[in-house]
Structure 1
Amino acid sequence: MSQLRRDYKKCERIIKKNSKTFYKAFSMLTNEDKKNAVYAVYAYCRYADDIIDQSNDLAALNQLKKELDDFVRNEEVNNFIFRALLDVRKKFYQDFDFKPFYDMLEGQYMDLNFKPINSLEELRNYATKVASSVGMMLTPILAPNGNKEKLDLVSYHLGVGMQITNILRDIGEDYKINRIYLPSDLMSKYNYKISDLAIGLINDDFMNLFNEIAFTAKTHYRIALENMDVFPKEERQILTYALVLYREIIDVIIENGYDVFSRKQSVSEMRKIKLIKEYTINE
């Protein structure tokens, strides 16, 4: 097995371990180059995310930014993620400016120097950095000949929808590491206090707060879904699967009494199979 093949295999293991939903969706790609490229992009994003979530390590984040700078300047970066990304660059990123890769890092710096989120607008700005950026990394791979403006529109809305879903699912987990992503103006609107959050209180105020943020996420999902026709059929199908499987997390949380404090809610395999059947494109 070649070095490059080993590098891609490492990237595949990262997505398989950390996101069953994304792996289930993107492993359906029939084009091996596209599939490997998605795995490499995911590995980069996961590595950046883990630096903050697991170790809050400024030096490691600065080192990753330096490696990205070197990579963009065509200097050799000798680790498996950037070796894989070099191959991705040759195949898909000939005229790419790598801004989304920097946006992702900017989002991680925001987490490192965490400041409370005051409004939905601030929440969307954060989500654009850490999640919409991922879509913008993937669109040259998934739809190299697509309309860039429309591709960016889908990336923006899908990324924001998914990140808000993450935030809703991880409310309890994030509070334990002193991060509150719930907009403070909405917490005030529904009279839900940080002291309520501290004890994991699920009451009408919390449910109303959750529902308003969930409605925002579902609005972003709807706009993304309405514009999916910018992608070729196979890629459109896979992104649709990813969208509906992720969106379903919100409904699972609600069905389980809005419990985002005692366990991490997820979509069952049986439910995933049902959704995949329901959203299969027949043309």
Structure 2
Amino acid sequence: MPPSPPSSPTAVPSNNRAELDAAGITDPVLRAGYAACRELNAVHGRTFFLATRLLPAERRPSVHALYGFARHADEIVDDLRDGRCTADRAAQLDALAVSLGTALDGGPAAHPVLAAVADTVRRYDIERRHFTDFLASMRMDLHVTDYPTYADLARYVHGSAAVIGLQVLPVLGTVAPRAEATPHAAALGVAFQLTNFLRDVGEDLDRGRIYLPADELAAFGVDRGLLVWCRRARRTDPRVRRALAHVAARTRAVYRRAAPGIGMLEPVSRECVACAARLYGTILDEIVASGYAVLHRRVAVPARRRAAVALPGVVRALAARLRTVPRIRTPSPARGA
């Protein structure tokens, strides 16, 4: 695993203490673990982190923990700078799965991030199979480089994205029966992931991966060779543009399927999720506005626009909090899968 961040009480920055206090997290090691997760979210998940700020303070640490674990696993798979071979990465993922199981069972956590996510799982009774499915998709990244059809890609996306929505759902809370909100939460996770696939086509290609269905690309006359040529030539071929427009249209359809789930959430959580959906939607807008020039540059939403998208939700989120009594969750005893 990557080196562990410090686990002393001084590792917790002041801007995180209020959230941890609100959540009733007092153990110094746990506080350091949650602080490490928050830092991962702030640095690597700027869009998601901005939306998380609209949640009540007592719920934010758990969302940070879930993101932190996902990022921690993702770094094992995707950090190509350290020269590790595929077998080493696979061994690290296996070790991570064992360490997570130990932490979830109430044993010692091998990494501060694991301490935080295990605490969150117990606080909100999150199903452990979601983490199993997530790690299965991370293992796919070690040997799968292409997806022949959308059905093949969907199997990967279930573990890499849909289950993230399912992990977060208990933290957000629902006013409808959770089973009714579940497919919408999964769909929103998928929509976010498909958006990332579009934005990161060039970077993923550098890692040897294409997260776009090969048969659908072929329908527009696109294959790996053409994508590589566009990447190197810093050009966007019209065939690629049409193929990516097709993917963008399907992604917007997934957002529409996810949308009814927002109203099923507890009022204090709705604006966070609505904001995240709007922010990720602006990424799609920027991709379209760029002429789908994602093969030779990373499309980003300007900070001013992100703020403008998020700002209207701040007032609504604050109003919802004023009408709601804070809900503090305490961990339940560790139990088997």
TMscore range, shorter length: over 0.9
TM-score, normalised via structure 1 length: 0.92
Query: Equivalent of 1:221, from 255, 280, 284?
Result: 255
Q: Please give the root-mean-square deviation of Cα atoms over the aligned residues, in Å.
A: 1.9
The reply to whether residue 65 of structure 1 matches residue 65 of structure 2 is: no
Offset, 1:279: 6.1
Match of residue 219 from structure 2: 189
Point out where structure 2 has 5 or more consecutive residues left out of the alignment.
1-8, 10-27, 81-85, 321-337
* Aligned residue type for 1:215: A
Match of residue 51 from structure 2: 25
Match of residue 202 from structure 1: 236
Query: Equivalent of 1:112, from 124, 142, 150?
Result: 142
Residues 1:146 and 1:76: Cα distance change in structure 2 (over 3 Å): farther
Residues 1:72 and 1:91: Cα distance change in structure 2 (over 3 Å): closer
Q: CA-to-partner distance for each residue in 1:210-233, whole Å, 9 max, x for gaps?
A: 011111111111111122111012
Residues 1:172 and 1:115: Cα distance change in structure 2 (over 3 Å): closer
Match of residue 113 from structure 2: 81
Q: CA-to-partner distance for each residue in 1:104-146, whole Å, 9 max, x for gaps?
A: 1011011111142111222222111101111111111111665
Residues 1:29 and 1:227: Cα distance change in structure 2 (over 3 Å): closer
* Aligned residue type for 1:18: H
Moved more, 207-216 or 197-206: 197-206
Query: Equivalent of 2:40, from 2, 14, 30?
Result: 14
Offset, 1:208: 1.2
Aligned mates of 1:208, 1:83 — CA distance in 2:
46
Aligned mates of 2:108, 2:147 — CA distance in 1:
38
Offset, 1:52: 0.5
Q: Which has the larger radius of gyration?
A: 2
- Aligned ranges for residues 162-173 of structure 1 at < 5 Å? 162-173=192-203
* Aligned residue type for 1:276: A
Offset, 1:270: 1.8
Across the two proteins, how many residue pairs are aligned to each other?
280
Whether the 8 Å CA contact 1:119–1:185 is kept in 2: the answer is: yes
Match of residue 273 from structure 1: 307
Query: Equivalent of 1:254, from 288, 297, 317?
Result: 288
* Aligned residue type for 1:123: L
Offset, 1:44: 0.5
* Aligned residue type for 2:239: D
Query: Equivalent of 2:72, from 47, 68, 78?
Result: 47
Whether the 8 Å CA contact 2:146–2:211 is kept in 1: the answer is: yes
Aligned mates of 2:275, 2:208 — CA distance in 1:
33
Aligned mates of 1:120, 1:86 — CA distance in 2:
33
Q: CA-to-partner distance for each residue in 1:191-217, whole Å, 9 max, x for gaps?
A: 112221011151221111101111111
Aligned mates of 1:226, 1:148 — CA distance in 2:
13
Higher relative contact order (CA 8 A, sep 6+): 2
Residues 1:35 and 1:101: Cα distance change in structure 2 (over 3 Å): same
Percent identity of paired positions between Structure 1 and Structure 2: 25
Point out where structure 1 has 5 or more consecutive residues left out of the alignment.
none
* Aligned residue type for 1:268: P
Partner-residue secondary structure (3-state), 2:79? helix
Aligned mates of 2:153, 2:212 — CA distance in 1:
8
The reply to whether residue 244 of structure 1 matches residue 278 of structure 2 is: yes
Query: Equivalent of 1:97, from 101, 104, 127?
Result: 127
Aligned mates of 2:261, 2:30 — CA distance in 1:
35
Query: Equivalent of 1:36, from 49, 55, 61?
Result: 61
Partner-residue secondary structure (3-state), 1:199? helix
TM-score, normalised via structure 2 length: 0.78
Whether the 8 Å CA contact 1:249–1:267 is kept in 2: the answer is: yes
Whether the 8 Å CA contact 2:174–2:181 is kept in 1: the answer is: no
Whether the 8 Å CA contact 1:92–1:144 is kept in 2: the answer is: no
Aligned mates of 2:152, 2:312 — CA distance in 1:
34
Whether the 8 Å CA contact 2:174–2:264 is kept in 1: the answer is: no
Query: Equivalent of 1:233, from 250, 256, 267?
Result: 267
